[in-house]
Amino acid sequence: MLSWLDEAGAAFAAQVCGSPRMVTKSISAVEFQKPVRPGQIIKIYGDVLRVGTTSVTVRLTARRHSVYNGSQRDVCSIGMVFVRIDGDGEPVPIKNIMKEYEDRRVKKEEEIRKDMEY
């Protein structure tokens, strides 16, 4: 599960920052709230908490998905910090993407609300 969270978090951070080179700097304490058994489907969701000069802090939530009734149960939640790096492994500044990210998120929420009105 930790490996999945790290991989999903790095992919999410790379998408948010527009850079394929992200490394894990830190992982918060992990508390597993529900068991996960082999064969169960796990969905991982992410939110941006903070964007620094060279790092991005994200919150990931893993949910156990039931194919029988479509319900989801939170399995664990974790905070992670990723750093954008160059080809030599040195930190690289992240452009001011928080405003762009928030604008995209708000626009998407508005589109969903508008679709629901019809």
Residues 42-60: tens digit of each pLDDT = 999 999 999 888 999 999 9
Is the pLDDT at 98 greater than 60, yes or no?
no
| pLDDT score for 95 | 77
Average pLDDT of every residue of the chain: 88
Q: CATH no. for residue 64?
A: 3.10.129.10
Mean pLDDT across 87-112: 76
Is the pLDDT at 80 greater than 60, yes or no?
yes
110 is written with which tokens?
A: 């508005």
The model's pLDDT over 6-25, given as tens digits with 9 standing for 90+, comes to: 999 999 999 988 888 999 99
Query: In this structure, are residues 85 and 21 in contact, taking their beta carbons and an 8 Å threshold?
Result: yes
Residue recorded with tokens 């068991």 = 35
Dist CA 16 CA 80 (whole Å) = 14
Into how many domains does the chain fold? 1
Dist CA 24 CA 95 (whole Å) = 19
Where b means 16+ CB within 10 Å and e means fewer, 44-56 reads bebebeebeebbb
93 is written with which tokens?
A: 């500044």
**Containing structural domain, residue 64:** 2-117
With 0.85 as the threshold, say if the pTM is over it. no
Q: Cα dihedral sign for 44, 66, 38, 35?
A: positive
